[in-house]
Amino acid sequence: MSDLDEPDALAALLRRYRQAAGLSQRQLAESAGLGERTVRDLERGRVARPQRATVDRVADALRLGPADRALLHRSTANRRGEPGGAATGDGPLPRDPDPVPGAPLIPDLLAGVADRTARVPLPADPPDFTGRDAELQELIGHLGSTGTTTVVYGPPGIGKTSVIVRAARVAATLPDGVFFVDLRGTAARATSVRGALAQLLTDLGMDRRRLPGGTAERRACYLERVAGRSAILVLDNALDAEQVLPLLPAGGDWRVLISSRRRLADLAGARRLRLGALSDEDARHLLAEMVNPARLAAESGTTDELIHICGGLPLALRIAGSRLASRPGWTVGGLMDRLRDTRRRLDGLYAGDVEVRAAFTVSYRQLAPAPQAALRRLALLPWPAYNVAALADVLDADPEAATAVHAAIAEAGLLTPTAADGRFRLHDLLVLFGQERAHDEDDAAGREAALERVRTRLLATAVAVTSWFPTNRAPVVRFPFPEPRQVFDSARAALDWFEAERYAVVWAVRRTAEQHRAEEIIAVVEAVRGLADRHHHLAAWHELFRLAVDAAREANSPALEATLRNALGFALKYQARRPEEALPEHEQARRLYAEIGDRPGHAWSTLYTVGALHRSGRLPEALDRARLAATLFAEMGDEGAVVASYAVGDILRDLGRPVEAAEVHRRGLAELPDPAGRNRVRSGMIGYRLGLDLTAAGDLTGAVEVLDRALATFRAEHHPTGIAECLGALSETLALLGSPRAVAVGTEAVRICHEFGDLPRQAQAWYALGLAARAEGRTDDHAQCWEQARALCETTDVEGRRLAEKLAQG
């Protein structure tokens, strides 16, 4: 084969014609009426199918004669799929074979373009390059060490070439400079090792007309010429380690930078740097380099939306910026109108020959069928992150096969690892691409079967979790799902799974509701109530319980509906902090229980209305309702009377009668049956309330003693809500007492409430830390802590309003 048939022949020809004409890329672009980026991409071989009109305009600007013009057009044949072009299809990209030994070589037509071939220069830095300071510093540090090889990898469009070129240019202080080769790993035909060696040998001073014909011979000449030199070698857009290994110098003082969408895991001894998305701040700077900043500032909110949908992907941001820059009459809102519809978003992210969809397509086509199917089906799951178990479910594969598929997709640079071990995500734009491919390549039955496997396994595992967090209520329906994929040997392991998968579990319940599977929803939601009682902020419980209420109504079961309405009201009060919405749910439950003659259910529903009235600030009504509930329980000899008594005590304290409240809570503790056994959590709850009473009554020392005991109880029971409540109250009491423990307890309270997502109690802990700082004379710390408390304080219930009043009073 001739070197003219190399995939980068057009790039090489165009570069040499331009250099022979004495033109810069910008000058050629202006003469041809093209964008400078287009000329730069043509010279780098990044335009997959250059239009004939574009090539003609370049030839006109270069004033090429008929023979040279024909040569330029012939060099585009591979890209257009003309005879002799690259094969199409999935799997690894084709490579060019060596010539048959002994066969005559076709004359090297490139040799006559110019008498002396100039070294291929580094591509120009993008004028809008921004950010990447940490990554550049790391790469420049690598380039300071002899013999280092660094692979910069990441998903399509993340800016790998820009980063390695910038790093090489900054670090280009070695005597023999920088050598650059575009390996075209994402082109229809990647640069062959033979072709890359031809370029490097020419760059090293060898007459192109005297190049050896075979790859092995070129490799031997290359190793001979690199020995004793000191330079940086930049290998851009590598396909795989097999393409790179023969190009690595041996001997001399060389430092190698490689960019690839793949990790090139087979490249032993290489350092690796994964490029992630740009920060929102850097994304805004990039846009501002392309579009008048005043134009962006005039639509700041819409610009933020544009940055969000581009997801920190430089390619998408540059395309959006280019479309705005080339259309001064467009507003940012006008562009967003074209991009908001997720089904058409990828259609709008193009500019000239550059588009996001094409960048993803190349990597997708390089995958084998199983990883392709996995990517398509994962994109159908609207979750923030996935794990290998989900991948196994969408493929109906065993864990070992799923792990291998995961490794293949990760190696292709299409997965973003998350902070959680073993979890990963897909870029939002890649999700849209995957959904397109799923609807084009999978039939509806196949998509539904994959989603059903995921749904049922998720719900089965969620119920397995709940065995570690039982309730005192007997299950009302049989659990109808298959065996879970995972079993748990501890409450901690079960909780960690649920916390990691909570968005997926909510999705599964929603999907179950859409399918009107009432029995399944009720089974799952009833099972998780024990978990919801302890971990108020773990999931959107009120949404799940609302779906369960609807399912119970659909099943025409008043008893189930009443039970689940009480669960919904509980979630609205304590998780969502919306007591006014909780009250009608409990009232409806009371009516349903009364209609079916369920006296215990009616009494408990009456008690649940107390919390809603209390948290809404309707204290007299709450007190009357609490006393009514206590009477109803007493008539039946039910221990619910003790629970009602501590509700009475809470209201008395908030009515300014803490001494009476303390007496009620002491009596409740004395009357509570089995306080060290099955009612241990309730004893902790009453103790916590007694501590609040004593603090309000001014008995700070007694309050600390009681709160410490309650805290120990909740720690022993692994009850996070109780722990957070006790720490918050204890930190404030210690601060009022002037205890040196106040800061340590308050700091722990902030940390734990942050982990649990309990913002109201976190605000209380910041308030307590502020009190402690003020007592110690740390004025600045006091102000900062209270500013944090104000930012987190929610005033939707009586507790939040009370804290807001304290902060206002100072």
Q: What is the pLDDT of residue 113?
A: 43
Token pair recorded at residue 634:
């007493």
Alpha-carbon distance of 785 to 772, in angstroms, equals 10
Is the Cβ–Cβ distance between 469 and 531 less than 8 Å?
yes
DSSP code string of 674-699: STTTTTHHHHHHHHHHHHHHHHHHT-
Model confidence band, residue 474 (pLDDT cutoffs 50, 70, 90): low
Q: What is the pLDDT of residue 595?
A: 96
**Which pTM was predicted?**
0.76
Q: Which residue has the higher pLDDT, 128 or 553?
A: 553
Distances in Å between the Cα of 459 and the Cα atoms of 411, 509, 641 are 31, 8, 36
Question: Per DSSP, which regions of 111-267 are E strands?
Answer: 149-153, 178-182, 230-238, 253-260
Is the Cβ–Cβ distance between 321 and 287 less than 8 Å?
yes
Q: Which residue has the higher pLDDT, 251 or 428?
A: 428
Q: What is the pLDDT of residue 4?
A: 44
Q: What is the pLDDT of residue 534?
A: 81
Q: Which residue has the higher pLDDT, 588 or 72?
A: 588
The closest alpha carbon to 152, from 277, 314, 273, 276, belongs to 273
Q: What is the pLDDT of residue 799?
A: 79
Q: What is the pLDDT of residue 8?
A: 62
Model confidence band, residue 374 (pLDDT cutoffs 50, 70, 90): very high
Token pair recorded at residue 331:
């507003």
Q: What is the pLDDT of residue 196?
A: 93
Model confidence band, residue 369 (pLDDT cutoffs 50, 70, 90): very high
Distances in Å between the Cα of 351 and the Cα atoms of 277, 312, 355, 740 are 20, 18, 6, 63
Q: What is the pLDDT of residue 574?
A: 84
Is the Cβ–Cβ distance between 626 and 641 less than 8 Å?
no
Is the Cβ–Cβ distance between 432 and 346 less than 8 Å?
yes
The DSSP call for residue 106 is P
Q: What count of other Cβ atoms lies within 10 Å of the Cβ of residue 567?
A: 27
Token pair recorded at residue 758:
């309990």
Q: What is the pLDDT of residue 563?
A: 93
Q: What is the pLDDT of residue 475?
A: 57
Q: What is the pLDDT of residues 695-715, one digit of tens each?
A: 999 999 999 999 999 999 999
Q: What is the pLDDT of residue 795?
A: 75
**405: Cα separation from own chain's centroid:** 20
Tell me the chain's radius of gyration from C-alpha atoms.
34
Token pair recorded at residue 315:
């390619």
How large is the average pLDDT for residues 2-26?
68
Q: What is the pLDDT of residues 326-339, one digit of tens each?
A: 898 999 999 999 99
Which amino acid belongs to residue 251?
G
The closest alpha carbon to 704, from 676, 737, 681, belongs to 737
Q: What is the pLDDT of residues 631-662, one digit of tens each?
A: 999 999 998 888 898 899 999 999 999 999 99
Q: Which residue has the higher pLDDT, 756 or 540?
A: 540
Q: What is the pLDDT of residue 135?
A: 95
Distances in Å between the Cα of 725 and the Cα atoms of 18, 258, 689, 740, 758 are 73, 53, 10, 20, 10
Q: What is the pLDDT of residues 76-122, one digit of tens each?
A: 765 444 433 333 445 544 454 444 444 333 334 444 444 334 577 78
Residue 436 predicted with pLDDT over 70: yes
Model confidence band, residue 577 (pLDDT cutoffs 50, 70, 90): confident
- Run of H or E residues at 28: helix 25-32
Model confidence band, residue 589 (pLDDT cutoffs 50, 70, 90): very high
Handedness of CA 158, 161, 165, 171 (dihedral sign): positive
The closest alpha carbon to 353, from 54, 125, 33, belongs to 54
Residue 420 predicted with pLDDT over 80: no
Q: What is the pLDDT of residue 69?
A: 80
Q: Which residue has the higher pLDDT, 483 or 360?
A: 360
Is the Cβ–Cβ distance between 569 and 533 less than 8 Å?
no
In three-state secondary structure terms, 24 is coil
The closest alpha carbon to 41, from 14, 23, 61, belongs to 14
Alpha-carbon distance of 368 to 401, in angstroms, equals 13
The fraction of the chain above a pLDDT of 70, given in percent, is: 92
Alpha-carbon distance of 704 to 734, in angstroms, equals 7
In three-state secondary structure terms, 386 is strand
Residue 173 predicted with pLDDT over 70: yes
Alpha-carbon distance of 728 to 499, in angstroms, equals 23
Is the Cβ–Cβ distance between 298 and 276 less than 8 Å?
no
Alpha-carbon distance of 147 to 385, in angstroms, equals 38
First to last CA, the chain: 84
Q: What is the pLDDT of residue 253?
A: 92
Q: What is the pLDDT of residue 107?
A: 36
Residue 303 predicted with pLDDT over 60: yes
- Mean pLDDT score of the chain, rounded to an integer? 87
